[in-house]
Structure formats: C-alpha cells, structure tokens
Amino acid sequence: MSPGRGRILKRLFIGTGTCVVVAVLVTALIAWDEFSPPEPFPVLDPAEVEAARPAVAGDPIEIATFGSGCFWCTEAVFRRVKGVRSAVSGYSGGTVENPTYDQVCWGSTGHAEVVQVVFDPTAVTYAELLEVFWRSHDPTTRNRQGNDVGTQYRSVIFYHSDRQRDLAERYMRKIDEAAIFQKPLVTEIERFSVFYPAEPDHQDYYARNKRQPYCQATIGRKLDKLKRVFGERWDE
C-alpha cells in the first residue's frame, strides 16, 4: 500500500518520518487541483428538514464529522462558517487505535482524514453544514480529491444521530436528482464510532502556514471562491 500521490508531492519524508511541504508542487497543483464550487445549488427546504427525525431538545451544541480530502483544507473551510465553534482535524472510520498521520497517509489503517465540527445549531443548522460540505469538494470522485488519492481521502459523512443520517440521505438524493454534478455522488454515509485528533502540527494548519505553496495554490484559492458563494454566512 502506498501513500496518496498528492501526499508524495506535498511532503518529503525525512528523519523520523516527519512530513514537510515540498515547494516544487505548486505548478502541478494549480494546474490539476483547481476547484470551483457548483452554482446554483439545491438546499433542503423547511418541510424536508422538518420531515427528518426530531433533534434532541435542549442540546446547546452539536457535533458533526466530515471527510472531504485533505483535512488541512476541510478544517480551514469549516472554521470560517459562522456558528461553528471549533473544527479539529483527525481520523475516523478505521481499524487501528490512535493512528499516526504517517500510518493514515499510507492508507493502511482504513481511516479517513476528517474534521470534527462543534457548532451552535441556533446559528447554523446541520443542513447548512451539509451544503458547505458538498459545495467545498468534489463528491463524485471515489477515494480521491485532486492530487490526493487513496481511501483516506474519501468523501464521507459520519453521522452522530439518526436525524443527521436522515438529513444527509435526503440531501444526497436531492443533489443527485437535480443533476448538479456530471456524475452521481459517491459520498459514504456511515455511523460515527470514534474520532482520533490529529497531531498538533496538523491543527489550524492553513492559518499557521498561509505562505506555504500548497496552502497558497490550493486552500487559499478555494477559500476565496467559497467566500464569494456563502457571503454573510462566511466568517473571516
């Protein structure tokens, strides 16, 4: 099993296996990993949201877990959504306890790179987070996002309640029926089991490394486009 091709480009493994960004990737990433959020895009109407299983009364916060490729980018996206209190990069959906980043990079643990989002449902709904999720990556490519190839980069939703599962399934059907994408969605919808936070070096990665070539070429450009799409829902 080998690491995703994008990770080979983005990092050079040195010494103990620590990953560093490789500057020579910039030209390839700009040409190959360009992203544009789909427009227009369907949303779940109030009746569809109401038809889902009821929310738990009195819960001031909720948790959502999404995988949409490299978690550096996914985390940067959700940190900018108003109503999100925190977004933590990590690993879910695998078979190895406490996996390391290098293990997950090699695709040998079954985990996906994910971001666990804590949000205020009175400020942003789960349905709205689903919209951000599906509009911020390509959910039609199985086990791949741009240059990142492997099961660790799969499009996946780990639901924390029956209501989250219902909303995700309803929304996924609506997107496919609207033929927003040229191909059907391949997003996996799985019950949440366990979340392992990634190492400190991977938390808030974009904010700490904005000048690095990968961040400029891929993450920064995506954030600029999403800011134009989401407008007032976007929080810098």
The residue that leads in pLDDT, 68 or 31, is 68
Q: Give catalytic residue positions.
A: 70
Backbone φ and ψ for 102, nearest 5 degrees, come out as: -65, -40
Q: Tally Cβ neighbours within 10 Å of residue 63.
A: 17
Cα(10)–Cα(16) distance, integer angstroms: 17
**72-97 mean pLDDT:** 97
CATH code for the domain in which residue 19 is found: 3.30.1060.10
Q: pTM for this one? A: 0.85
Write the CA distances from 145 to 74, 76, 166, integer angstroms.
Answer: 11, 16, 25
Question: Which element (helix H / strand E) includes 46?
Answer: helix 46-51
Structural domain boundaries enclosing 31: 5-233
Residue 29 has pLDDT above 60, yes or no: no
Which 3 state secondary structure label does DSSP give 52? coil
The residue that leads in pLDDT, 20 or 7, is 7
**133-162 mean pLDDT:** 95
3-state helix, strand, coil in the chain (%, to 5): 40, 20, 40
Q: Considering the chain, what is the average pLDDT of its residues?
A: 85
Q: What is the pLDDT of residue 11?
A: 53
Q: Tally Cβ neighbours within 10 Å of residue 44.
A: 20
Report DSSP state, residue 181. S
The residue assigned the tokens 């992203």 is: 35
Q: CB neighbours of 147 closer than 8 A, spacing ≥ 6?
A: 4, 5, 6, 9, 10, 25, 28, 29, 32, 33
> Which string of b and e fits 101-128 if b means at least 16 CB within 10 Å?
bbbbbbbbbebbbbbbbebebeebbbbb
pLDDT, tens digit, 9 for 90 and up, residues 167-221: 999 999 999 999 999 999 999 999 999 999 999 999 999 999 999 998 988 899 9
The total of structural domains in the chain comes to 1
